Chain A
């Protein structure tokens, strides 16, 4: 079964850092682009970052320079290092596998990040 399991969420103060992890299983992790998508409570989906099979990375302006996506193929793991966190970064963070670069399937169950003093 193809599965993604996120971890690492929690409460962090504004300006702080947090590292999210996503453990993949059931597929050849190194062969797929991977993404992070977040969702604030009661809000829509917001794309956060992507990493290609060659390690190329992509970010929207809202997190560029503060977030870093990385992968460790030997451990079938995806990471998101989040620095200089703001209240607006509070959300559930999902990792997702990109298939053919065109759609996300599956998604993990999500991990909640709360930025508050």
Chain B
């Protein structure tokens, strides 16, 4: 079955340090992968996506993610964390075999990122 795993419920990082939020997926074939961020009392905001091409994807707010097919991972990274990066982060996957629509995206359970000053 298709799934997404975010193994860490919470990640704590000091401001200025690099951060990594982990995501692994289980989808047959070549997946479409996404990262979203959710701030308190707000909807999800799109950060970045991987469809095809370069394994390193750059997104909003200085975030990037690396697609690793052999490890079925799509970890989110940022070289230097900001306190304002503190939020809930969701990894999501879509199997392109599900059809040409944007439906049936599967989200992970989320990782709470906490950046301390």
Chain A partners chain B = no
Q: Tell me the A residues contacting B by CB distance below 8 Å.
A: none
